Structure 1
Amino acid sequence: MAVFLLLLTVSILSFTISPIQSTQESHSHVHIVYLGHNNGLSPSLTARSHLQLLSRVFTKPDEARDAILYSYSYGFSGFAAVLNSTQAASLSEAGEVISVFRSRMLQLHTTRSWDFMGLSLHTQMEQSAEIQLKYGDDVIVGILDTGVWPEHESFRNDRHLGDIPSSWRGTCVAGEEFDPATACNRKLIGARYYLAGFESEIGRLNTSGGAEYRSPRDRVGHGTHTASTAVGLVAPNASYFGGLGRGVARGGAPMARLAVYKVCWFKDLTGRCSDADILAAFDDALRDGVHVISASLGSSPPLMPLFMTSTEIGSFHAMQLEVATVFSAGNDGPDAAMVQNVSPWGITVAASTIDRRFPTKITLGNNDSLVGESFNVKDMKMMRLVESSSVFMDGSCSFDQLINGSRTGASGKIVLCFSTMGMVSSVGAALAVYVAGGAGVIFADTISLRSTQDNFLPTVHVDLRQGTRILDYIRGDRKATVHIARSDTIVGNTPAPAVAYFSSRGPSSISPNILKPDVTAPGVNILAAWPPKSSPTVIPLDKRSVSWNFDSGTSMSCPHVSGIVAVVRSVHPTWSPAAIKSALMTTAYIYDDTSDVMLAGGTLKAADAFDVGAGHVDPLRALDPGLVYDVGARDHVLFLCSIGNTQDQIRQMVLPSPGLDTSCGSAAATPDVDLNYPAVVLTHLNATVTVKRTVTNVGPRRDAVYHATVVSPQGSRAAVWPPALAFSPHSDKASYYVTVTPAKPSRGRYDFGEIVWSDGYHRVRTPLVVKVTTLPDKGVAAQSMDTRTATELVRDS
């Protein structure tokens, strides 16, 4: 996201393997060798076995020791090493190896947001205030991000915090400008950093001029922001530069403990995170004893197979150790099938808006007034106003189009830029105008895209109609001027939530029968903690350092859900990660009139399950969901069978337990729709399909009776049997079957319905997504016809 541009101102044992020539070729890269669980071995024995395996592709043992970067030996078994392609291929042939893949570089994807979701600290909301402030004390949340600024008040050593949980086995690691004696306390109980993978691929970290810290300290700001959003302590009078968004800031679980794992580093104007480092952080977090892992990072499609990426491997083994993992969905929207982090064992979060706006009055020199959106904290009077074509050759506000000498043309002026000219983003436009010497930007965008962003240079967002009015004025007045007033803060006068335009949509491009994203949460213009040395603006507004900053992205929605998971975990410590996710999904809500509110701007279409998952999270309802869809080890065995894993691989991946059947048998052909997921997705419905689901009663009434209501997706007929589920003190589980039949011919279009179970108080909603494909694709049919005709011609001749 845009925050990373700020640093530009700081510094622009089965098979025998033949030994392979040890000289590292020019194309050597960091690879990860994944071996499944660690068979109950001690970390030292596991690490020794890794070195023995790696030594098979080197001629000398010392070369293997030099090549290995990490030995993952607690939560799972595997290692990261610098290998050439031949060595990697040879290792992949070993029987004990599940996968070998090159380590990639992943990227990183509040005062009002918690009030908006119903977790208010106001006296009239005593119940929710008690939940938020009391629970979470023994829950440890691990944040995999860019580190933390430990001196921020969100992470202070609060006297209300009790002793550090006895289950904690982690530590605070010293590093550059990070002294554990003063940085860590009863709130921030752990801090580590990981560089081996990053530096092996990118080169030595640049720390000159304070560009980065070789320590858990956060220089970018992203990690501090996400950590405070999830578990930050209550901080009154938080605001952006003393004005905008003023209110009480806090995380979703203020009494939860924070453990920081710095895996992302500033590089190429963004945060870069190595797969090898991420897996090392997962391994340590599981060893340390965290209960929740929050990771606002990922990689855009094409997606790798589930067990050839760090996030999915790490979260799979976290799930087996009863640790819930929350991911961001990605910022590649609104195109379909761009969602990231799609494994069924992780919680994937989309981003939505909250009911807060920052209107900014624009007065042109001809006294024409307009209202845009901005984070402007400085009254900018009588500024010269120019159009982009006077600064950029083709009118697009981008670096490569800067006109020679354009600093003279833009110096001290406000530049009008259009998103439709060169398809530039507001972030790119602001940076280009800054380089040209401009004082600010008026950025005209389509109404569906328009949203306030902190672009580190004053930027007022307007729609295309407003932008055209401003352009007409500039072209009619050679000395055009503009007055941009301070922005205001308005709460409650805008429809929300609306799924953010940038939020990545489903369906999953590798497992479309698993609904992704799972839920949505606030991710637009979130105010949270910020490192004081990472100024969010290149314009020195005053001598004070900023402690709070706005940011947007699914990176911001992810820690909101991480905080909620911590609260649910503290209230229900025995619930599995699958049960917690189910509670979030089945209690999420969707507005009745989605066409008006669910897409930013409200102009594209009504939101569906591929935009918002099961809907917008409701923290209080998630504490008492009534029924949950739980997933056991056997369920995961069958899922792993369905995606092509062999029985030997599954035995290496799934933790052994008494009576667990790890065979596939006939289940090898069972589709992943049979996984006990809190959604039913049928991607190829050309005949009647029946799907089984099992629910567990976790409500206060052990003898509850639930009745089903079904809304069939258009083009299909759906029915549930039995239509009622009865529970008793002796039986808290019940199964039901969903039968879906095509109702009319179709070549394939997703339609959406739902299954709702209710006992008169709880409402357990399960999305039902169907794509009817009873007609062949025209292109395929035409090709088949041509082939048949050619065959007949040959035969006749």
Structure 2
Amino acid sequence: MVFFGEGVWPESKSFSDEGYGPIPSRWRGSCSRDVGGVVCNRKLIGAKFFNKGYLAFIGVALNNTFKTVRDHEGHGSHTLSTAGGNFVPGASIFGHANGTAKGGSPRARVAAYKVCWPPLVGGNECFDADIIAAFDAAISDGVDVLSVSLGGNPSEFFEDGISIGAFHAVKKDISVVSSAGNSGPDPGTVSNVSPWMFTVGASTLDREFVSYVQLGNNKQLKGASLSSVAMSSRTFYPLISGDKAKAADALAEDAILCQPETIDPKKAKGKILVCVRGISGRTGKGKQALLAGAVGMILVNDRKSGNEVIADPHLLPATHINFTDGNTLFAYINSTRNPTAYITPVETKFGLKPAPVMAAFSSRGPSLIEPSILKPDITAPGVSVLAAFTEFVGPTEDESDNRYDAVLFTIRNFNVMSSCFRIRDDTGNPMLDSSNKRATPFAYGSGHVRPNRAMDPGLVYDLTVNDYLNFLCARGYNQNLLSLFSVKPYACPKSYGVMDLNYPSISVSQLNGSMTVSRTVKNVGSARSTYKARVRSPAGVTVSVKPSTLKFEKIGEVKKFEVKFVLNKSNAKSEDYVFGELLWSDGSHYVRSPIVVKHK
């Protein structure tokens, strides 16, 4: 596996090569000459940095910080170890989440290709020139899987360096996995929407890090935290909200968010400061509380964030509560002259129900570039994941956070790679969004990862490079644009539509009356098997499958079927997407395709 991102902290135990044999001879990669002292081994078998695009944009010479693969901010090490980190017994963060840490593929060989650097004006930190150069290197080096935990605003395929580079990797039979992005929960925010990339959203685990708020009126509110310090036992402190503690020249709407220089220390000192989520970072709000002399902080979700609470390594006693409990908290503060509270120490708890739940930050579909391709493809654990970190900064990445000597692992929230899926939580009910509403395929794609099921899928939807080129032709790409993806001139078929792509999901964005879509599946399960179709039609749409039974006589046999959509205009709402599913089963395999429909 090769990972594009912010680099690696090679000394982490997640990248130990204990128990590994010689590096496979087919690997042609290497470690760059590195001023940061990055050394490879039989686990971390490659490390390179790519910065010419970044340097060209700046136009000035930079120091040695830009000549190393070493991870200076933590995200690169974290994503790399989450997907491919070795077994690490006794891992924890501040004494919590004790156990053995491991990646999704702990015995995989890994390599880190650094393509992202400190952000410039406008937020630019990963440049297409560097990303494409990294793709070229990875292809030449003989990688099997590429993980690209990067992404920006959705853009047309020919304008997207990740999309172009990924296409050339796929041509060499390299799987490319990418993040859906962190711009949720608004619709249409998903990035990395090319059909040749596997795009992954983020959802929760059944583990939580709990810290309660005990109110002076005996009510208790459940929160999440990884604060490394705790309050004096059972001592209640005065409560004050950010707007009530605002500095004289600050706006109340900024102070309630605990923005920098908006809190008056004379008002906040010795109290628990209440801050609302939004604009600035969560741990950054904790820093503002600490600077103002507060003894603790309660972070309250805004309406948009709903019930999603995140355990952060705050610099002071702090906890994060949901929107509903936040309303309870503010009602208490406003109902009494002297509100008080106590924040309990952090506890690790397992068996959380319901789980998984979609993360609010995970970017959502539909794809703004091509809505006939459902993105993300799946979702995987991406909230409060314990994995490797850098020792260059503390877990909040703030200059004042000097806990790096004690933190070799940390909890992060992000999107990672995996495959195969489910759409129900551990209570047996449909997966939920962070708002407690039923989640849709625009959040989770085909569902939450179930990697063991991927070893025996039964049926697969095959796609070739020519299929992808035909898809681009159907989108009106001329030879000039196609040349970005195909070195040789490509003859576009006379009749091919974007709906003809053999994608494992079916998304109809403009249903007017009726439409028929064809798909083919290959048998990779039992040689002799019979699959029967079951359909859950979207509201207001009738869906039928022909044939409804597929009989296979051998492994590798391919069968074609058609799915017909008929709009029931009396029940249709043109402004809404509606969802359903097609399920093929032989009694032991269950091959599910989500269905998404919107009509004109």
Q: 1:255 and 2:117 equivalent?
A: no
Cα separation, 2, equivalents of 1:164 and 1:708: 46
Distance 1:155 1:652 in 2: 36
Q: Is 2:477 aligned against 1:645?
A: yes
Distance in 2, matches of 1:702 and 1:596, equals 34
Percent identity of equivalent pairs: 40
Partner of 1:386: 240
Kindly indicate whether the alpha-carbon contact (under 8 Å) linking 1:171 and 1:191 is maintained by their aligned counterparts in 2: yes
**Mapped partners of 1:601, 1:757: distance in 2:** 30
Query: Alpha-carbon deviation of 1:399?
Result: 3.3
Distance in 1 (CA, whole Å) between partners of 2:306 and 2:282 is: 14
Deviations 1:640-666 (A, max 9, x none): 21111124654673366xxxx932242
Higher CA-based Rg? 1
**CA offsets 1:500-556 (integer angstroms, 9 cap, x no match):** 1111111100110011010000111111111223211567797942001011133xx
1:682 paired to 2:540: no
Contact kept, 8 Å, 1:319 with 1:325, in 2: the verdict is: yes
- Alignment of 1:768 with 2:584, yes or no, is no
Q: What letter matches 1:625 in structure 2?
A: P
Report what 1:196 is aligned to: 52
After superposition, where does 1:212-361 map in structure 2 within 5 Å? 212=65, 214-241=67-94, 243-267=95-119, 272-300=125-153, 303-361=154-212
Aligned residue in 1 for 2:410:
549
CA distance in 2, matches of 1:291, 1:207: 34
Is 1:430 the equivalent of 2:430?
no
Distance across 2 between alignment mates of 1:496 and 1:730 = 36
The whole-number CA distance in structure 2 between the counterparts of 1:337 and 1:172 is 39
* Pair 1:729–1:147, CA change in 2 (3 A): same
Say if 2:12 is the partner of 1:152: yes
Match of residue 310 from structure 2: 452
**C-alpha displacement of 1:361:** 2.8
Q: 1:528 aligns with which of 359, 381, 387?
A: 387
1:690–1:546 Cα change, 3 Å: same
Task: For residue 486 of structure 1, give the secondary structure of its aligned residue in structure 2.
Answer: coil
Separation of aligned partners in 1, 2:589 and 2:567: 30
Q: Kindly provide the CA deviation profile for residues 569-591 of structure 1, in whole angstroms up to 9, marking residues without a partner as x.
A: xxxxxxxxxxxxxxx4xx42111
Change (3 A) 1:239 1:339: same
Q: CA deviation at 1:187?
A: 0.4
Contact 1:417-1:443 within 8 A present in 2 as well: yes
1:169 Cα deviation after fit: 0.9
Is the contact between residue 720 and residue 737 of structure 1 (CA under 8 Å) also seen in structure 2? yes
Q: Deviations over 1:395-433 (max 9, x none)?
A: 423436615xx24444564311134xx866634533433
Partner residue of 2:552?
727
In structure 2, do the counterparts of structure 1 residues 412 and 274 end up closer, same or farther at CA, with 3 Å as the change threshold? farther
- The answer to whether the aligner puts 1:484 opposite 2:343 as a matched pair is yes
> Does the 8 Å contact 1:397/1:428 carry over to 2?
no
In the TM superposition, 1:7-86 aligns within 5 A as none
Aligned position for 2:582: 755
SS at match of 1:317: helix
Supply the AA of the counterpart residue of 1:151.
E
How many angstroms apart in 2 are the aligned matches of 1:672 and 1:468? 47
Instruction: Give the one of 501, 504, 513 matched to 2:372.
Output: 513
2:492 to 661, 664, 688: 664
Cα gap change, 1:730 to 1:338, in 2 (>3 Å):
closer
Kindly indicate whether the alpha-carbon contact (under 8 Å) linking 1:275 and 1:309 is maintained by their aligned counterparts in 2: yes
Tell me the secondary structure at the aligned position of residue 457 of structure 2: coil
**Partner residue in 1 for 2:424:** 591
User: Is contact 2:354–2:426 with CA below 8 Å preserved after alignment?
Assistant: no
Where 1:278 maps in the other structure, the secondary structure is: helix
| Stretches of structure 1 lacking an aligned partner (at least 5 in a row) | 1-140, 562-583, 774-797
Pair 665,697 (structure 1): closer, same or farther in 2 beyond 3 Å? closer
The secondary structure found in structure 2 opposite 1:201 is helix
**444-453 vs 192-201, greater mean Cα deviation:** 444-453
Alpha-carbon offset, residue 738 of structure 1: 1.1
State the 1:297 CA deviation. Answer: 1.0
2:13 maps to a residue whose letter is E
Amino acid at match of 1:347: F
Give the 3 Å change call, closer, same or farther, for CA 595–620 of structure 1 in structure 2. Answer: closer
**CA–CA separation in structure 2 for the residues paired with 1:593 and 1:638:** 41
**What secondary structure, in the 3-state scheme, does the structure 1 residue paired with 2:126 have?**
strand
- Give the match for residue 418 of structure 1: 276
Could you tell which deviates more after superposition, 358-367 or 370-379? 358-367
C-alpha separation in 2, matches of 1:146 and 1:620 = 30
Which residue is 1:566 aligned to?
none
AA aligned to 2:422 is Y
Residue 465 of structure 2 corresponds to residue 633 of structure 1: yes
Q: CA deviation at 1:207?
A: 5.7
What is the aligned partner in structure 2 of residue 39 from structure 1?
A: none
What secondary structure is seen at the aligned counterpart in 2 of 1:358? Answer: strand
What letter matches 2:372 in structure 1?
N
2:29 corresponds to: 170
Is the 8 Å Cα contact of residues 241 and 256 (structure 2) preserved in structure 1? no
Q: In structure 1, how many angstroms separate the alpha carbons of the residues matched to 2:74 and 2:555?
A: 52
Which residue identity is paired with 1:426? R
Q: In the TM superposition, what whole-angstrom CA distance separates every residue of 1:14-35 from its partner, at most 9, and x where no partner exists?
A: xxxxxxxxxxxxxxxxxxxxxx
Match of 1:693 in 2: 519
Deviations 1:236-271 (A, max 9, x none): 111112x11111100111111111101112236978
SS in 1 for 2:285: helix
Quote the offset at 1:372 in angstroms: 2.0
Q: Is contact 2:392-2:404 (8 Å) kept?
A: no
State how far apart, in whole Å, the 2-side matches of 1:444 and 1:339 are. Answer: 26
Is the 8 Å Cα contact of residues 430 and 455 (structure 1) preserved in structure 2? no
Question: What residue identity is the alignment partner of 1:641?
Answer: C
Q: CA deviation at 1:143?
A: 0.5
Query: Does the 8 Å contact 2:308/2:359 carry over to 1?
Result: no
Native 8 Å contact 2:5 2:116 kept in 1? yes
Amino acid corresponding to residue 133 of structure 2 in structure 1:
A
Q: 1:637 to 1:470 in 2, by over 3 A?
A: closer
- Which stretch shifts more, 383-392 or 730-739? 383-392
Q: Tell whether the 8 Å contact from 1:320 to 1:655 is kept in structure 2 after alignment.
A: no
- The answer to whether the 8 A contact 1:441-1:457 is kept is no
- Cα displacement string for residues 264-288 of structure 1 (whole angstroms, at most 9, x for unaligned residues): 1223697821111111111111111
- How far apart in 2 are the matches of 1:599 and 1:430? 29
Cα separation, partners in 2 of 1:320 and 1:400, compared to 1, 3 Å: same
Q: Deviations over 1:31-72 (max 9, x none)?
A: xxxxxxxxxxxxxxxxxxxxxxxxxxxxxxxxxxxxxxxxxx
> Counterpart of 1:715?
540
Q: How has the CA–CA distance of structure 1 residues 542 and 479 changed in structure 2, closer, same or farther, with 3 Å as cutoff?
A: farther
Q: Pick the aligned partner of 2:299 from 443, 453, 456.
A: 443
- CA distance 1:770–1:544, shift in 2 (3 Å): same
**Residues 275 and 294 from structure 1, CA distance in 2 versus in 1: closer, same or farther, beyond 3 angstroms?**
same
SS at match of 1:224: helix
Q: Which has the higher helix share?
A: 1
